[in-house]
Every structure is written in structure tokens, then in C-alpha cells.
Amino acid sequence: MKQLVTFLLPFIGILAGNAYAANIDDPVLERGQEVYELTCATSYCHGPAGGQAGAPRLAAREFDALYIASVTANGVPNTPMVGFANALSAEDMNAVLTYVAFLNGIINPQFTVDDPLASLGIAVANPRRIPLAGEAQEGRELFFDAYDKSLKRCSTCHEVEGIGIPVASPIATVPGSVSALRNIETPNISTVTLSIGSNESMPALLLSRGIAGVKFYDMSAVPPVLRTIPPESDSEVFNIAGNADWHHHDYISAYTDEELERVLTFLRAISE
Ligand code: HEC
């Protein structure tokens, strides 16, 4: 099935109105496309160029600019669509909103680079960002904005300074060295196996298990995907066991030792 979807995606993309995608030469749109491909168009989520994948198609839906901005900022409750208000810099938020607006035929949306969400009256938490310089500031950029690391950048799973996706609980202890950071243990990752029909099995970070069902992050996806298996679902969680196959170091392997040194310098600077 997965192969079929992968095979069909380009065609779905064309059907989704990707005549637009052909003539992107504006730098803001180019950046927006880049941010979109790296942040939104991942296996579980939206397809390339606004096409459909695990999540709905975004291109040519006649969304208006305000709707696009508010869903992107706040997410959709009870779905894997998390809010990105604090996950992207203002500039990248502006670019990606402009790009998705463009996919919906809006050529000149009223976003402003300084604060695209505020310009539409969407309030977001104001991240506390103390001024930093030198290696600490470089480490901050590597933590949040290292797009060349694709989604294997720290802010994909960690929220710091009010920015990032809080998959993991807040970092309690800054590792003492790069090798300690490379060797972080992940005792809270388990394996969730779904029964009946699917027999799907995945590494998971369990959030809750109760009468409302089982809630967990599927850690096989990047970014991890929030899933809820309701108690009445025909696919139930029948096994939650320890996991030996998910390794934190695989998700930070795109960073060099020098870069991780700067990331640690940044984390120390803000925890002082
Ligand atoms: C794909 C998701 C993901 C990425 C990317 C990621 N981490 Fe993590 N990290 C986790 C998870 C999940 C845990 C907690 C695991 C557990 O508790 O079993 C964790 C734990 C940690 C811990 C230990 C937390 C503590 O309180 O002691 C530190 C430190 C850490 N990560 C730092 C980083 C840094 C720095 C980066 C970027 C270089 C990074 N992580 C990238 C998912 C990720």
C-alpha cells in the first residue's frame, strides 16, 4: 500500500492543482516551499506540493489566508495536526503560509515577515529569547533552524524557550559532554503493537493509557506522530513492551561533534 501511495503521489499532486508549483521564482515562495517540504510534507502528513498523503491535500482547496494561518498556528484539536505557532521562526512562518496560500491561488496574502500571525490577529505565546552571542547563538540556530539536518534537528522533538514541538518532556539535565549527548538513553520508549487486522508495531512514547484509550507518539515517524487508539477501536493496543530498537543517536546523527558542542553551549547558556 505504501509503495502504491508513493507511486501515486506525483499524480495526485498534479490533480491537486500543481500547475502553481511550476513557476515558483519568488524567494519567499522558494523558502516557503523548502520549509513546507521539510516540516509539513513528511510520510504521515501532507504530500509534496500540497498533495494528499496521510493528511489532507492542501493545494487548491480555496482556503483563505486567515484560515491557513490559524490552522497552521494552532493545529486541529484531536488530530495529529499540531500547532506550529512556536515551532517556526517568524520568517519561516511567513514563508510557509505564503506558500500554502499560493497553492490555493492567493497571490498576495496579507502576511508580514515581522510577525505573520499577529498581523492576522492570531495571538501566540511570546517565546522568551534572551540575547546570545558567539557559540551559544550558533548552538541555538543549530537547535531550532538547522534545516539542512532535515527534521532530525532538536526542535523537532524538544521545546526550549517556548519553541519547538514538545514530544519529549522538558530537558531536565544538560549532558556534560558531546559523547554523553550521543549516548542518551531513552527508557520511556516502548513498542506498541496494534492487534486485529493490522498487526502494526512501532516504537512509541506513551503519554496516557486509560478509559479514553491509549495516547502515544509514534516514534517511527519524523516528526513523531501523535496517535490515539480509542477503546472501541477495532485495532487495539495489545502489547506494550520495552524497546531496544529506537536510538536517540540515530536522530542527532546529522550533527557533527563541533555542532553538538555548540548546541550544549546554548543549552547551558539558557539554563543558567
Ligand atoms: C526524533 C525526536 C528527537 C530528536 C530529533 C531529538 N531528541 Fe532528544 N529526546 C527525544 C526523546 C523522545 C527523549 C526522551 C526519551 C525517554 O525519556 O525515554 C529525548 C531525550 C533527550 C535528552 C535527555 C532528557 C533529560 O531530561 O535528561 C536530552 C538532553 C536530549 N534529548 C537532547 C537532544 C538534543 C540536544 C537534540 C538535537 C541535537 C535532540 N535531543 C534531538 C527525542 C528527540
> Are 239 and 264 contained in the same domain?
no
129 is a domain residue: no
Cβ(48)–Cβ(86) below 8 Å: no
**pLDDT tens, position by position, 18-66:** 434 445 668 888 888 888 877 777 656 777 777 766 677 777 666 777 7
| Residues 30, 11 share a domain | yes
Are 139 and 203 found together in one domain? no
Say if 125 falls within a structural domain. Answer: no
Q: How far is 54 from 42, CA to CA, in rounded Å?
A: 9
Please report, as a single letter, which amino acid is at residue 87: A
Whether 91 and 10 map to the same domain: the answer is yes
Q: Which residues form the domain of 155?
A: 134-183+250-271
Angle subtended at Cα 57 by Cα 75 and Cα 53, rounded to the nearest 5 degrees: 95
Q: Residues 13, 98: one domain?
A: yes
Residue-wise pLDDT for 237-270, tens only, equals 777 777 778 999 999 999 999 999 999 999 999 9
Indicate whether 223 and 255 sit together in one domain: no
Is 205 inside any structural domain?
A: yes
Domain co-membership, 60 together with 152 = no
* Same domain for 152 and 81: no
Cα–Cα distance measured from residue 251 to residue 210, given in angstroms and rounded to the nearest whole number: 30
Cell matching residue 196: 486485529
Q: Tell me, yes or no, whether 49 and 35 share the same domain.
A: yes
Domain count, the chain: 3
pLDDT in tens, 183-192: 999 988 998 8
> Has residue 128 been placed in a domain?
no
**Are 46 and 141 members of one domain?**
no
Domain assignment present for 15: yes
Q: Considering 92, 120, 148, which residue would you say is the last residue of a domain?
A: 120
Mutate to test the pocket of ligand 1, among 142, 143, 157, 258 (most ligand atoms within 8 A of CB): 157
- Residue 25 forms part of a structural domain: yes
Q: Is residue 127 part of a domain?
A: no
Q: Are residues 29 and 53 in the same domain?
A: yes
Residue where one domain finishes, among candidates 93, 120, 147: 120
CB 189: neighbour CB atoms within 10 A?
A: 20
Residues with CB under 6 A from ligand 1: 152, 154, 156-158, 167-168, 171-173, 175, 181, 184, 186-189, 205, 222, 224, 248, 251-252, 255, 263
Q: What is the reported pTM?
A: 0.67
Tell me how far the alpha carbon of residue 55 lies from the centroid of ligand 1, in angstroms. 26
User: Looking at the domain assignment, is residue 233 inside a domain?
Assistant: yes
pLDDT tens digits for 81-124?
777 777 777 788 888 888 888 877 777 777 777 777 777 777 65
Give the CATH number of the domain where residue 103 resides: 1.10.760.10
The verdict on 11 and 44 lying in the same domain is yes
Euclidean distance between CA atoms 24 and 267, whole angstroms = 38
